[in-house]
Amino acid sequence: MNTQETIKQQVTTHPVVLYMKGTPQAPQCGFSAHAVKVLNACGVDNLFAVDVLAEPEIRQGIKEYSSWPTIPQLYINGEFVGGSDIVTEMYQSGELQKLLQK
Report the pLDDT value the prediction gives residue 1, as an integer from 0 to 100: 84
Q: Taking the CA atoms of 62, 67, 69 and 72 in sequence, report the sign of the dihedral they define.
A: negative
Question: Model's pTM, two decimal places?
Answer: 0.96
**Known binding positions for [2Fe-2S] cluster:** 29
Domain ranges within the chain, ordered by starting residue: 3-101
| Interval 67-95: pLDDT, tens | 999 999 999 999 999 999 999 999 999 99
Report the pLDDT value the prediction gives residue 53, as an integer from 0 to 100: 97
**Known binding positions:** 29
Report the pLDDT value the prediction gives residue 46, as an integer from 0 to 100: 92
CATH class of 3-101: alpha beta
24: nearest Cα among 11, 12, 41, 7: 41
Helix, strand, coil shares of the chain, percent, nearest 5, are: 50, 20, 30
CA 72 to chain CA centroid, nearest Å: 6
| Interval 28-48: pLDDT, tens | 999 999 999 999 999 999 999
- Sequence-distant (≥ 6) Cβ neighbours of residue 84 within 8 angstroms: 31, 32, 34, 35, 72
